[in-house]
Structure 1
């Protein structure tokens, strides 16, 4: 009887651990506050990620507290300080969406610590990228540093708009998203551009190095493929 119980406990532990990780493109990812699966999209295998509202509830009346959270799959056994992270991303908006103003939030988290309590991220708002209003277009790209410098705080006048910008991106299309981490600065290149779309000159993160996460937020169905990492 004891032996049977040990075997059952081992099986339960195995499936619990398996449910917390996912394999894709010969890489293992730890799942953090998202639902993730390997899916078929237009005839190819991709990694599908959606925010798990059971893990972190969303409150439209308290955006600052319930968005820009650790909602990603994190690359296991990885640490990078300086180098290039490149991935192809495609986002769609959930239908129905839990957030009326969902923009297809999708991007990369980096310098993630072991407990996911500190990291930096740059993400896109693809719907804003094709808006007919320039004000919305100016918010197509966003940087933030968790937990102290989320988008709402960085949008205040004192930061002079330096943590957001425009990029030519749209929903339901593959976007090559490449970050260059270079000492104190970050450079974002979109779709194989020669020059960066966005530069972070003054980083707000607590970590000097850390892991990498494929990130989404509220109302988004995110797809990822072709993750490449080059360290300096």
Structure 2
């Protein structure tokens, strides 16, 4: 009797830790440390997600350790993205009441995600400061990080402003994020910009191919639709004129 009880208990635990999967049109998303649902928002069916603070607790006194973690919705059916284009429409709004005074609508993309979530690359935005009246704040609108060793605070210390930048984003409105990934570099475009808003010259990640995911962090309610992923072979960059630092 005890053996049967133990077996049933293990099955129950296994079912509870199995990730939830949501389907939006023909795409399926597996939720990793986020809560989510498919909802009708502003007349369209979208994926809505929020960080699950029970699965991954947040501590405002330990920011580096408890943000930029694997809390995201994983696109299923594509586990070998290396180079190419990721494009998605996203909408970010803040939770009320705010769980943390520093919330900024953190929302963006993960790519080259390892199967066990132990490594990945990310570019995300802080829409709250995208149109701030201060240039210093605007310079924190975009963030690159590489999990697990190069989160936002580490990068600010070793290379201030090199892995952050500005972008014309705002809370409570739809915008399109497009990322062009090519070898060790990545560029981010917003809406129909002809030129990128943000460039990562050399990414830190060692995992070179993997899953793609939709990301939100503390205090963000994120809405996503029209995700498109196009794989391409690595393209050799043309050597241009060297520009000296001023």
**In the alignment, what sits opposite 1:42?**
42
Q: How many residues align?
A: 224
Q: CA deviation at 1:16?
A: 4.8
Q: CA deviation at 1:13?
A: 9.2
Q: What's the secondary structure of 1:61's corresponding residue?
A: coil
CA distance in 2 between partners of 1:225 and 1:13 (Å): 32
**In the alignment, what sits opposite 1:108?**
109
CA distances 1:109-146 after superposition (whole Å, capped 9, x unpaired): 00100001110100000001122222111000000000
Q: CA deviation at 1:77?
A: 2.8
Q: How does 1:190-209 map onto structure 2 within 5 Å?
A: 190-209=190-209
Moved more, 21-30 or 55-64: 21-30
CA distances 1:69-106 after superposition (whole Å, capped 9, x unpaired): 00101112312111100000100000011111100000
Q: 1:15 to 1:27 in 2, by over 3 A?
A: farther
CA distance in 1 between partners of 2:126 and 2:213 (Å): 17
Moved more, 128-137 or 212-221: 128-137
CA distance in 2 between partners of 1:191 and 1:165 (Å): 16
CA distance in 2 between partners of 1:133 and 1:45 (Å): 35
Q: How does 1:52-91 map onto structure 2 within 5 Å?
A: 52-78=52-78, 79-91=80-92
Q: What's the secondary structure of 2:136's corresponding residue?
A: helix
**In the alignment, what sits opposite 1:224?**
224
Is 1:189 the counterpart of 2:189? The answer is: yes
Q: CA deviation at 1:160?
A: 3.7
**In the alignment, what sits opposite 1:166?**
166
Structure 1 gaps, min length 5: none
Q: What's the secondary structure of 1:155's corresponding residue?
A: helix
Is 1:125 the counterpart of 2:126? The answer is: yes
CA distance in 1 between partners of 2:69 and 2:179 (Å): 20
**In the alignment, what sits opposite 2:236?**
none
Q: CA deviation at 1:53?
A: 0.2
Q: What's the TM-score once normalised by structure 1's chain length?
A: 0.91
CA distances 1:36-80 after superposition (whole Å, capped 9, x unpaired): 100111121110010000011110011000000001011123121
Moved more, 39-48 or 106-115: 39-48
For the 8 Å contact 2:105–2:220, the answer to whether it is kept is: yes
CA distance in 1 between partners of 2:40 and 2:203 (Å): 37
CA RMSD, Structure 1 to Structure 2 (Å): 2.0
Q: CA deviation at 1:186?
A: 0.3
